[in-house]
């Protein structure tokens, strides 16, 4: 049923070979089931209703796995439910679902429903498979798009014979690292590939990359899936990266799926991926493990400034004095605002300049009219460069943004 629903949605362009298309359809088998962890019986519509009635669906919905909202056709009437909807709204959905035994998902609703599934890698892998297998100039092993979830990875291997009479490759060695990660799809030495598309499913350890290597008499194939929580992985931003964003924290959490692994879909320092740079403690986070700092930097109201030395072991010229930081600092060190020290030249009562007579740094300036007492003008007298801008701090022109730091 899943395959029948997905195929009309995913087909784009012409497929030159029915055989290749059938091979690619292997990618669609139980795709929605594996994503939602639905109970797999012989009735998709019954399973879908059961899933929507479960606490798992409510948790998936609230954590953003179905996007901002989802529309479910019940008795031909669309019912929309959103990630931020109240408990009453979820109760209303359950009441409506309990009044039916199965959901009638017609062709007109299939695309609307399945476009909401966030497992876009599955769609991409299918389209990529069809596209590559339909190109006559490609033969031999072809890397497909791996389908990755939090817990597993499906390695997608395409093989296109160089001619219709070309036999399928015979395996000489098959290896998955780390040991014990393989779930299904093992190929024994001496065994030939059974089709043009081969799927190998593996568990995805938290802190280790999964590597698949296959040697055959027609060449070799290897592929890697980066670990979800690997601190050295280049798949995403490394731990400790600070970014600026126009999105507030709620919006940022939605688009980054920040709390997907966090119980209740709220911030937890050992599960959430990003934290606002507001000085909060993040115990047991990857950030603390790497930096030995419990708190993230507090950048509220702050500009960021580069240190004078980034790599003490690389012999690069020292930063010029006029460009560098005059203070010796460490990462995360706070530096207050200041105004460069200077002196004013003053005239005595007969108009002679008195050099080196120091005046205090102050937002006020002294202005004397001949024959009158000195008065405070509060720094508002123009000196030929426009109207002075007075504030309680010294600052450059700027716009305000949010800072977030990668902690896991």
Q: How far apart are CA 138 and CA 266, in angstroms?
A: 47
Instruction: Kindly report the backbone phi and psi dihedral angles of residue 244, in degrees, each rounded to the nearest multiple of 5, phi listed first.
Output: -100, 150
**Is pLDDT above 50 for 138?**
yes
Average pLDDT, rounded, for the chain = 74
Instruction: Give how far the C-alpha of residue 61 lies from the chain's centroid of Cα atoms, to the nearest Å.
Output: 18
Q: How many residues does the chain have?
A: 408
pLDDT value of residue 160? 82
Share of the chain above pLDDT 90, in %: 16
Q: What is the pLDDT of residues 40-74, one digit of tens each?
A: 555 666 667 777 888 878 887 777 666 667 777 78
Are β-strands 182-184 and 197-203 bridged in parallel, bridged antiparallel, or unpaired? antiparallel
Residue 3 pLDDT grade (very low, low, confident, very high; cuts 50, 70, 90): very low
- E strand or H helix at 74, and its extent? strand 69-74
Token pair belonging to 240 = 């400790």
Instruction: Kindly report the backbone phi and psi dihedral angles of residue 305, in degrees, each rounded to the nearest multiple of 5, phi listed first.
Output: -140, 135
What does the buried/exposed string (b/e) look like for 181-206 if buried means 16 or more CB atoms within 10 Å of the residue's CB?
A: bbbebebeeeeebeebbbbbbbebbe
Higher pLDDT, 366 or 218: 218
Q: What is the pLDDT of residues 121-134, one digit of tens each?
A: 555 566 566 565 55
Q: How far apart are CA 357 and CA 335, in angstroms?
A: 29
pLDDT value of residue 313? 80
Residue 149 pLDDT grade (very low, low, confident, very high; cuts 50, 70, 90): confident
Which residues lie closer than 8 Å to 153 by C-beta, 6 or more apart?
146, 147, 201, 202, 204, 210, 225
Q: How far apart are CA 191 and CA 266, in angstroms?
A: 49
Token pair belonging to 80 = 């929309």
Q: How far apart are CA 376 and CA 300, in angstroms?
A: 34
Instruction: Give how far the C-alpha of residue 296 lies from the chain's centroid of Cα atoms, to the nearest Å.
Output: 19
Closest to 150 in 3D by CA, of 25, 15, 262: 262
- Name the DSSP letter for residue 85: -
Return the minimum-mean-pLDDT range out of 8-22, 141-155, 199-213, 246-260.
8-22
Q: How far apart are CA 243 and CA 402, in angstroms?
A: 8
Number of other CB atoms surrounding residue 386 within 10 Å: 7
- Alpha-carbon dihedral sign for residues 404, 85, 70, 45: positive
Angle between helices 87-98 and 44-53 (to 10 degrees): 150
Higher pLDDT, 346 or 308: 308
3-state SS, residue 385: coil
Residue 269 pLDDT grade (very low, low, confident, very high; cuts 50, 70, 90): very high
- Cβ(147)–Cβ(156) under 8 Å? yes
pLDDT value of residue 353? 54
Residue 357 pLDDT grade (very low, low, confident, very high; cuts 50, 70, 90): very low
Share of the chain above pLDDT 70, in %: 65
pLDDT value of residue 392? 79
Instruction: Kindly report the backbone phi and psi dihedral angles of residue 50, in degrees, each rounded to the nearest multiple of 5, phi listed first.
Output: -60, -40
pLDDT value of residue 296? 94
**Is pLDDT above 50 for 145?**
yes
Q: What is the pLDDT of residues 232-266, one digit of tens each?
A: 444 568 899 999 999 999 889 988 888 888 887 88
- Cβ(390)–Cβ(363) under 8 Å? yes
Greatest mean pLDDT among 24-28, 57-61, 84-88, 343-347 lies in 84-88
Q: How far apart are CA 387 and CA 384, in angstroms?
A: 8
pLDDT value of residue 287? 92
Backbone angle region of 384, left / alpha / beta, with phi > 0 → left and psi within -120 to 50 → alpha: left
What does the buried/exposed string (b/e) look like for 87-111 if buried means 16 or more CB atoms within 10 Å of the residue's CB?
A: eeebeebeeebeeeeebebeeebbe
Token pair belonging to 119 = 């497992």
pLDDT value of residue 277? 94
Residue 112 pLDDT grade (very low, low, confident, very high; cuts 50, 70, 90): very low
**Is pLDDT above 50 for 364?**
no
- E strand or H helix at 24, and its extent? helix 18-24
**Is pLDDT above 60 for 351?**
no
344-361 average pLDDT score? 51
Instruction: Give how far the C-alpha of residue 143 lies from the chain's centroid of Cα atoms, to the nearest Å.
Output: 24
**Is pLDDT above 60 for 276?**
yes
Instruction: Kindly report the backbone phi and psi dihedral angles of residue 373, in degrees, each rounded to the nearest multiple of 5, phi listed first.
Output: -75, 155
Q: What is the pLDDT of residues 179-216, one digit of tens each?
A: 888 988 899 999 998 888 888 988 888 778 888 999 99
């Amino acid at each position: 049923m899943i395959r029948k629903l997905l195929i009309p949605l995913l087909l784009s362009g012409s497929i030159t070979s029915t055989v290749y298309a059938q091979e690619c359809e292997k990618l669609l088998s139980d795709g929605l089931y594996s994503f939602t962890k639905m109970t797999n019986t012989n009735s998709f519509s019954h399973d879908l209703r059961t899933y929507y009635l479960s606490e798992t669906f409510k948790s998936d919905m609230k954590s953003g796995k179905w996007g901002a909202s989802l529309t479910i056709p019940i008795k031909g009437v669309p019912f929309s439910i959103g990630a931020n909807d109240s408990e009453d709204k979820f109760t209303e959905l359950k009441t409506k679902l309990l009044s039916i035994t199965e959901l009638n998902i017609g062709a007109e609703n299939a695309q609307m429903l399945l476009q909401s599934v966030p497992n876009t890698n599955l769609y991409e892998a299918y389209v990529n498979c069809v596209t590559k297998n339909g190109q006559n100039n490609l033969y031999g092993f072809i890397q497909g798009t791996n389908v990755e979830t939090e817990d597993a990875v499906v390695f997608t291997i395409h093989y296109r014979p160089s001619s219709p009479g070309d036999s399928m490759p015979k395996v000489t060695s098959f290896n998955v690292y780390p040991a014990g990660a393989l779930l299904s799809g093992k190929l024994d030495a001496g065994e030939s590939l059974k089709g043009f598309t081969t799927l190998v499913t593996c568990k995805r350890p938290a802190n280790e990359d999964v590597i698949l290597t296959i040697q055959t008499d027609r060449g070799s194939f290897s592929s890697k899936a980066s670990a979800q929580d690997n601190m050295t992985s280049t798949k995403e931003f490394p731990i400790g990266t600070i970014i600026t964003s126009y999105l507030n924290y709620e919006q940022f959490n939605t688009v980054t799926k920040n709390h997907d692994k966090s119980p209740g879909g709220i911030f937890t320092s050992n599960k959430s991926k990003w934290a606002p740079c507001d000085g909060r403690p993040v115990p047991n986070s990857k950030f603390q493990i790497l930096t030995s700092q419990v708190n993230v930097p507090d950048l509220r109201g702050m500009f960021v400034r580069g240190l004078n030395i980034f790599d003490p072991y690389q012999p690069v010229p020292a930063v010029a004095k006029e460009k560098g930081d005059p203070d010796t600092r460490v990462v995360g060190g706070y530096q207050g605002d200041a105004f460069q020290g200077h002196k004013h030249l003053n005239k005595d009562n007969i108009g002679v300049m008195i050099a080196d007579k120091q005046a205090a740094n102050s937002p006020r300036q002294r202005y004397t009219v001949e024959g009158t007492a000195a008065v405070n003008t509060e720094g508002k007298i123009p000196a030929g460069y426009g109207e002075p801008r007075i504030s309680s701090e010294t600052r450059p022109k700027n716009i305000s943004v949010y800072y977030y730091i990668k902690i896991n």
